[in-house]
Amino acid sequence: MSVEKEKLYSKLSDAVVDMDEDSVAVLSDQVIKEDIDAYEAIDQGLAKGMERAGQLFEEEEYFVPELLMCSDAMNVGIDILKPHIRKEESSQKHKIVIGVIEGDTHDIGKNLVKLMLSSADFEVIDLGRDVPVNTFVNRAVEEQAKIIMISSLMTTTMDRMGDVVQLLKEKGIREQYKVAIGGGPVSLAFANKIGADGYSANATEAVRLAKQLVVKES
Amino acid sequence: MDVFSPKERLLRVLKNEAVERPPVICPGGMMNAAIVDIMNTTGHTLPAAHHSYDLMSELACDVHQNTGFENFGIPFCMTIEAEVLGSNINFGTLECEPKIDKEKYQSVLEVDFLPVSAIEKHSRVGAVVETIHKLSKQCPDIPAIGSLTGPLSTAASLVDPMIFLKQLRKERDGAHRVLDYVSQHLIAYARLMIEQGASVISIADPTATGEILGPKLFEEYAVPYLNQVIDEIHKLGVPVIVHICGEVGMVKTQLNMLRGNAISVDAFVNLKKMKEENDKLTTMGNLSTYLLEFGEAQKVYQSAKHLLQDKIDIIAPACGLSTSTPLINIKAFTQAITEGKDG
């Protein structure tokens, strides 16, 4: 890779970490003007920056507001670069269905997981918040997603995550899906108890978990 | 034998005065103990009881009598403040608590500032304060606790939280204006509760956590507005409990800036250690709500005894209870605290 290109990617990455939407826009325009590979610029510039932001989040340097602003900055760049990606480069992405379980409208955690997964090149189908048990299963089937991620921020709603696993079993399709859960009151012990395939404590861990589940799947 | 009435005991603890044993309470609001087991027996049920003064007072009474919690905890949800200020509420079901259907605003800059009188004109506020009035007259020895949703949580129920959290950095002036506005309404609401007989005000602010905000933003946005509300309540001679969700390690310094009379925390926070680090702190908590829901009654009983041994000042659930928590577990919990020492 040329030094120039490398420099530009690392500037893009820095601009995301610095939550600097304006710089991201200027740098992304430069990528296009200089006819640099848009996919590579997203992957090694923007996504790399988001990964670094995720690390800072894990290290408790960044918190939710900062992570959201980094994500906004990344999306400014993606919006500019995406139309310039050459077709053959956009590989088949793994699909994940994600949502907050019925009764619960706290979606900060889910949204963080979603944005980290998207920046790690998963295709995320967001069912939103207050999602009925049925919807998780039906949409996973429709979308041919292999992973279902469910979040709950309340002890009053966490039981229903087990109902999703149960419904998959009743339909005789449990083995076709990996179910991962997360959220404030949830723990690994609880994940095991309801028969889920995985648990993650935060958004960056969720990306590692999704990658593991995909490997197990294929 | 009990030396103090439940009200005297709770008020003494909140004044740092000696008591024969800690109170065991569940303040309502986020920590609502109106469980399905009780409602199905008495027929005073949610969601209807969120609206009607008669039902609300009956249910608050049922909860107190059945659980053994030594207080009345009102209301049973965290949505009244946001409803008054314009957000749509879904009132849920018997099992499922009310929630914000949709936040009214997409930016702190869009918020319409309603006059403070909006609070007293609202029918659900009316149900809450009439309930407090009735119960505090009917049972003067039992403290009626009025529960508020904290300033940040209320603001994040008015403005879409994903936008609101970013605006804490991007639109600082606008965010501060909304938090000040929300705080004025909370003060007005607390004043009505106190005028009608509330002995204690409890504030739960689940959006104001160290984990979400980090120490800097917690100090800039959570501490000053919580203190603003606390100070005004203190002027009316009433003590305040503040519940902070999540892990508190990274905001320890900031927690010590809060001027409430007791601090209540989540299950995984080591309250004993918190007390050792700051002996002036009045601690409240923190029996795991997970254990309460899924554990054996005997295990709940033992954990409650541990809280006693650790000399936690006020014993309470660690967080919001599940409505499917078995009554037998809650009874084991309160009994462990209220029974004689040899029990």
What's the ipTM? 0.87
Contact flag B320-A155 (C-beta cutoff 8 Å) = yes
| Cβ pair A160, A103 in contact under 8 A | yes
A130 interface with B at CB cutoff 8 Å: yes
- Say yes or no: B290 contacts chain A, CB-CB below 8 A: yes
Residues A112 and A191 in one domain: yes
pLDDT greater than 90 at residue A11: yes
DSSP A66-125: HHHHHHHHHHHHHHHHGGGS-GGGSPPPPEEEEEEBTT----HHHHHHHHHHHHTT-EEE
> Are A84 and A170 found together in one domain?
no
Q: What is the average pLDDT across B78-84?
A: 96
The tens digit of pLDDT for each residue in A34-85 reads 999 998 999 899 999 999 999 999 889 999 999 999 999 999 999 999 888 8
Please tell me whether residues A108 and A212 are part of one structural domain.
yes
At residue B343, the pLDDT reads 39
What pLDDT was estimated at residue B342?
42
Instruction: Judge: B290–A190 Cβ closer than 8 Å, yes or no.
Output: yes
Same-domain status, A106 and A171? yes
pLDDT tier at A2 (50, 70, 90 boundaries)? Answer: confident
A106 and A213 part of one domain? yes
CA separation (Å) from A4 to A10, A28, A34, A50, A80? 10, 14, 10, 21, 20
Distance of CA B68 to the CA centre of its chain: 18
Asked if A105's CB is within 8 angstroms of B99's CB, the reply is: yes
User: Is A192 found in the same domain as A104?
Assistant: yes
Decide if pLDDT at A89 tops 70: no
Q: In this complex, do A64 and B213 lie within 8 Å of one another by their Cβ atoms?
A: yes
Of B166, B250, B319, the CB nearest to A65: B166
Among A36, A71, A89, which residue terminates a domain?
A89
Cβ pair B214:A60 closer than 8 A: yes
Chain A residue with CA closest to B102: the answer is A105
* Same domain membership, residue A83 and residue A102: no
Domain limits, chain B: 24-336
The mean per-residue pLDDT over the stretch B333-339 comes to 96
Residue A90 has what pLDDT?
56
pTM of the model: 0.89
Do A68 and A122 fall within a single domain? no
CA distance A46 to A119: 8
pLDDT band at A105 (very low <50, low <70, confident <90, very high): low
Q: Tell me, what's the pLDDT at B86?
A: 95
| pLDDT at residue number B1 | 63
Which of A55, A89, A123 delimits the end of a domain?
A89
Size of interface A-B (CB pairs under 8 A): 76
Do A155 and B290 count as a contact with CB atoms less than 8 A apart? yes
CATH number of the domain at A185, please. 3.40.50.280
* Interface contact flag, B211 A154, Cβ < 8 Å: no
Would you give the end-to-end CA distance of chain B in angstroms? 12
Which residues, in sequence order, are bridge partners of residue A151?
Answer: A100, A182
Residue of A nearest to B30 (CA): A154
Q: Does any CB of chain A come closer than 8 Å to the CB of residue B166?
A: yes
Mean pLDDT of chain B: 95
| Residue-level pLDDT at A216 | 72
CA atoms within 13 A on the CB side of A10: 7
- Determine, for residues B166 and A159 on separate chains, whether the beta-carbon distance falls below 8 Å: no
Per-residue pLDDT tens over the stretch B166-204 = 999 999 999 999 999 999 999 999 999 999 999 999 999
Nearest-by-CA chain B residue for A109: B212
pLDDT band at A88 (very low <50, low <70, confident <90, very high): low
Residue with the bigger pLDDT between B247 and B81: it is: B81
Contact state of B96 with A156 under an 8 Å Cβ cutoff: yes
* Closest residue of chain A to B216, computed from CA coordinates: A63
A85-99, B115-129, B247-261: least confidently modelled range: A85-99
**Mean pLDDT of the region B268-283:** 91
Is A103 in contact with B165 (Cβ distance < 8 A)? no
Q: Is B162 at the interface with chain A, CB within 8 A?
A: yes
Residue A11 shares a structural domain with residue A75:
yes
Question: Could you give the CA distance from residue B227 to residue B45 in angstroms, rounded to a whole number?
Answer: 35
- With contacts defined as CB-CB under 8 Å, which chain B residues touch A155? 289-290, 293, 319-322
The pLDDT, as a whole number, for residue A73 is: 95
Choose the mutation target among B76, B99, B168 for the interface with A, i.e. most A CBs under 10 Å: B99
Instruction: Examine the domain organization and report whether A20 and A111 are in the same domain.
Output: no
> For B11-30, how does the pLDDT look when each residue is reduced to its tens digit (9 = 90+)?
999 999 999 999 999 999 99
Q: Do residues A112 and A68 share a domain? A: no
pLDDT at A93: 86
Is the minimum CB–CB distance between B74 and chain A shorter than 8 Å? no
A202 lies in which domain range?
A: 95-217
Contact B217 A65 (CB under 8 A): yes
Contact A68 B250 (CB under 8 A): no
Residues 6+ apart with CB under 8 A from B167: B107, B108, B159, B174, B175
Q: What is the pLDDT at residue B208?
A: 92
Q: Which of B39, B94, B212 is the best substitution to test chain A (most A C-beta atoms within 10 A)?
A: B212
From the CB of residue B339, how many other CB atoms can be counted at a distance below 10 Å?
12
Q: Hey, which CATH number is domain B24-336, 3.20.20.210, 1.10.3080.10, 2.60.120.960, 3.30.420.40?
A: 3.20.20.210
CATH for A9: 1.10.1240.10
Boundary residue ending a domain (A74, A89, A104): A89
Which chain A residue is nearest to residue B325, measuring alpha carbons?
A156
What is the separation of C-alpha A96 from the centre of its chain, rounded to a whole number of angstroms? 9
Distance CA B295, CA A211 (A): 34
- Separation between Cα atoms, residue B40 and residue A129, nearest integer Å: 28
Query: What are the chain B neighbours of A60 within 8 Å (beta carbons)?
Result: 214, 250
Please determine, for residue A86, whether its predicted confidence score (pLDDT) is greater than 90.
no
Q: Mutation test of the interface with chain A: which of B322, B323, B330, choosing the one with the most A Cβ atoms within 10 A?
A: B322
Query: What average pLDDT does the structure give for chain A?
Result: 90
- Asked whether residue A115 falls in the same domain as residue A178, the answer is yes
pLDDT digits 0-9 by tens, B96-151: 889 898 899 999 999 999 999 999 999 999 999 999 999 999 999 999 999 999 99
- On whether any CB of chain B is under 8 Å from the CB of A105, the answer is yes
Amino acid identity of residue B203, one-letter, is: I
Question: What is the percent of chain A with per-residue pLDDT over 90, rounded to a whole number?
Answer: 65
- pLDDT of A15: 97
For A57, the token pair is 């989040």
Residue B218, pLDDT score: 97
Q: How many domains does chain A have?
A: 2
